[in-house]
Structure 1
């Protein structure tokens, strides 16, 4: 039993790495920018290692803000539209999701969190990021269509040195 094989995407010391080669004394990894990193196996044995390849389908979250004045009916419609998107894209997403208010800020903004589950683990970072980008753009379109937005409160401007 070992925590990784050649080709697995792992995280060691908080850094995402691809296992390139496993030798008797060292393991060679590639960072996402193709930098090679060599770890002595004696060092790796004492480190926590997470392995995306051996992980189940993984979740993702998208944080965004909307105006506090947004009606409950519009938020309900937002949930319906997100559900429709996920159902239309079952090759990428599971249809179950969470959309919840994470915080109310300055009684003018709702901070929301959309939590979804990919139909894959994050072994392929590129694919994961493309899927997430498509979802964010779809969410943007839904918000535009429903006329849900957030505008900063008016800010005081103080000019100095004006003659």
Structure 2
């Protein structure tokens, strides 16, 4: 016999009741129905796989950055140990050591911009750390996905899969938006209806939108608003519906699919309520042409 659902009794053999109530919200629709469907379980497995994959990439890149920092710190410590050893063992006079230190300071002054860049990059990667591997970010108004992090540079993927290399010393000066770390995101959909639409129809429109949103609890938060923005040219009324997702916009494909479904539902609601938009009467100029090529304008 093939079972189509996973119910609470099935999980009682492996988990405690408290643990079951904790994991049920992780599956779409399970909290409302008390059952885990095959599609919900499949979606959860896919999300878990991508999260573990991103975590593995993040840990690998963090390990690489730490190794690079370790090499840099080891080089600096080695130079300090060599100078102190020479001074303690008396292999060189104080003047020689002072000369070496002076030369090192001169090199530091010569490469001060590089030293400043390395220091800012270390602060950005290990102190600020505004994103992880796989996060969808917004930099300079462009959405990018973090592909790789190093001490000096971060590699991003643009929407067309073009790789973009940003110096971390530059990123530390830029505002960075992070969809993955953001709370549930909102969307606003604008539409226009005829100004002659009755109040009863507008109320029915709001009720139909509310009914649809409440029927999709795994897609939309119940909180929403339908507002009138303005009346233009005395013939059309601009309106907007603002909705809140149950997810952030980290996965932009899911967001686009939900918005598309919502727009198609709006179209269906408009058709059911016979909501249309009519242009204002237009002035038409006609010209009558006689046989003698004389023209007589007619105004309608």
TM-score (norm 2): 0.52
> Which whole-Å deviations, capped at 9, do the CAs of 1:79-129 have from their partners, x for residues lacking one?
110011001111100122110100100111000010000100000111100
Higher strand share: 1
Partner residue, 1:57:
184
Gaps of 5+ in 2: 1-127, 294-300
Determine the C-alpha separation between the residues in 2 that align with 1:54 and 1:141: 35
The root-mean-square deviation of aligned C-alpha atoms, in Å, is 1.7
Deviation of 1:155 (Å): 3.9
Map of 1:17 onto structure 2: 144
- Determine which of 36, 39, 42 is the counterpart of 2:163: 36
Paired residue secondary structure (1:53): coil
Describe the superposition over 1:117-154 as per-residue Cα deviations: whole angstroms up to 9, x where unpaired: 01000001111000000001001100110001112224
Per the alignment, residue 277 of structure 2 pairs with 150
Distance 1:25 1:151, change over 3 A: same
Larger relative contact order (Cα-Cα within 8 Å, sequence gap ≥ 6): 1
Measure how far apart 1:78 and its partner are.
Answer: 0.5
Higher helix share: 2
In the TM superposition, structure 1's runs of 4+ consecutive aligned residues that sit over 4 Å from their partners are 156-160
Give secondary structure in 2 for the equivalent of 1:131. helix
TM-score by length of 1: 0.94
- How far apart are the structure 1 equivalents of 2:283 and 2:165? 54
Question: Out of 212, 229, 252, which is 1:85 matched to?
Answer: 212
Q: Indicate which of 246, 255, 268 corresponds to 1:128.
A: 255
- In the comparison of the two structures, how many residue pairs are matched? 162
> Is the counterpart of residue 111 in structure 1 residue 238 in structure 2?
yes
- Determine helix, strand or coil for the equivalent of 1:38: strand
- Call closer, same or farther: CA 1:49–1:158 in 2, change over 3 Å: farther
